[in-house]
Amino acid sequence: TTVKENNSNYKILGFSAEEFSNFPEIKIRAKTKLNQKLFKEAIQQVIFATSRDENRTFLNGALFKIKDNKIEIITTDSHRLSLKNIEPIEIKSLLAEGVEVIIPYRALSELSRLLLDNKEVFTEIRIGEKQILFILFPDGQKNSIRIYSRLIEGQFPDYHQIVPNSFKTEIKVNTEEFKGKMERISLFVREDLNTVKIEAANKKDSQKEERCEIILNAENPSTGEASEKISCLKKGEDITITFNTNYILDVLK
């Protein structure tokens, strides 16, 4: 290819169009349509928990599960697990037992950049044996963007064994307030541990009324110590637990 402009002359080497890979033919096992905005939000809410360990490739992506007219996206790096349910516009599965595939992290990451924050447009997903096809309709059905990706082979862990059926303690806090306090206190955690202690308990205020309060504590021999308090709603037992601050902030972001 030659590009000329005034006193400029560029020659660019290329390849024959015949050498470009053909789009794969997908033998469809299942297909579905999702709202683009909801799909984008779902990806962003779970993708942080995918593993980067190349020795366990089955954790390097998200499990995409279609069953009983429901869709779940699950990720785990063996330290944390994230699960998101999505309500589909429509589903067509050729298998009565449903379909489970592992979509690579990179494919989901690129896809989330292209999906629109618009509830009026949708994405069609076609699932084959070894490939998956995403068809994006940015302006209705006039034009489309097609993204093909290979699927990851392997057996995703049985996450049902990880998620408990019941909890001894349930706590509700203001998300933005909790995020702000966690970001501040993270400056005082020990670099080798990167943990914060969280205490949640019912305590009596100055009016002797019982209220739930969360106390965040962190200390570092080289920088000092910090403490934050947050009002909360709690059901169940008082609790004291230690968390990795990055794990919590990843969820809150």
Sequential DSSP letters for 77-139: -SS-EEEEEE--SEEEESSTT-EEEEEEHHHHHHHHHHS-S-TT-EEEEEE-SSEEEEEE-TT
Helices (H), the chain: 36-46, 105-114, 175-185, 245-252
Residues in the chain, overall count: 253
Task: Write the pLDDT tens digit of every residue in 121-171.
Answer: 999 999 999 999 999 987 766 678 999 999 999 999 998 888 888 999 999
Q: What is the mean pLDDT of residues 210-225?
A: 91
Cα 208 to Cα 42: distance, rounded to the nearest angstrom: 43
* Helix/strand/coil percentages in the chain, nearest 5: 20, 40, 35
Cα 62 to Cα 103: distance, rounded to the nearest angstrom: 5
According to DSSP, the residues that pair with 5 across neighbouring strands are 8
Cα 235 to Cα 170: distance, rounded to the nearest angstrom: 5
What pLDDT band is residue 21 in, cutting at 50, 70 and 90?
Answer: confident
Cα 180 to Cα 197: distance, rounded to the nearest angstrom: 16
Q: Is the pLDDT of residue 70 over 80?
A: yes
**pTM assigned to the model:** 0.84
Spatial CA neighbour of 169 closest among 251, 80, 239, 232: 239
Task: Write the pLDDT tens digit of every residue in 219-249.
Answer: 998 889 999 999 999 999 999 999 999 999 9
| Structural domains for the chain | 24-161 (3.10.150.10), 169-252 (3.10.150.10)
| Residue 98 contacts residue 71 (beta carbons within 8 Å) | no
Q: Is the pLDDT of residue 204 over 80?
A: no
Cα 33 to Cα 126: distance, rounded to the nearest angstrom: 9
Torsion of CA 59, 60, 62, 66, to 10 degrees: -70
